[in-house]
Chain A
Amino acid sequence: MPADPLSATLFALSDATRRGLLARLATGDTTVSELAKPYDMSLAAISKHLKVLETAGLISRGREAQWRPCHLEAAPLRDVFEWLDSYRRFWDSSLDSLADYLAVMQRQGSGDPGS
Chain B
Amino acid sequence: MSSVVDASSLNEPVVIVTRMLDAPRSLVWDAITDPKHVAHWYGGPGFTSPVCEMDVKPGGIWRHVMQAPNGAQFTINSVFLEVVEPERLVWKTIKDENRKPAPPTAVNTVTLEEQGGQTKWTLVARFDSIADRDISAGMGFGKMIGMGADRLAEHLRTM
Contacts and interface: CB of A to CB of B under 8 A. Distances in A.
Contacts of B45: 93, 96-97
Contacts of A4: 101-104
A6 B43 contact: no
A7 B104 contact: yes
B39 to A, nearest CB: 10
A6 B5 contact: no
Nearest to A95: B19
B3 interface: yes
Contacts of B125: 87
Interface string A96-113: 111111110110001011
Contacts of B106: 87
Given A10-B104, A14-B128, A97-B41, A105 B17 contact: no
A83 to B, nearest CB: 7
A10 B128 contact: yes
A48 interface: no
A101 B40 contact: yes
Contacts of B15: 84, 87-88, 91
Interface residues of A, number: 46
B116 to A, nearest CB: 15
B17 A13 contact: no
A93 B31 contact: no
Interface string A45-88: 00000000000000000000000000010100110110110011
B4 A6 contact: no
- Interface majority SS on A: helix, strand, loop or mixed? helix
Nearest to A102: B23
B22 A14 contact: no
A102 B28 contact: yes
B36 A112 contact: yes
A93 B43 contact: yes
Contact of B130 (A14, A93, A100): A14
A26 interface: yes
Interface of A: 2-7, 10-11, 13-16, 19, 22-23, 26-27, 72, 74, 77-78, 80-81, 83-84, 87-88, 90-103, 105-106, 110, 112-113
7 contacts: A13-B10, A14-B12, A14-B131, A19-B10, A97-B40, A99-B22, A110-B27
| Closest 7 A/B residue pairs (Cβ) | A93-B44, A14-B128, A4-B101, A97-B41, A23-B7, A102-B23, A98-B41
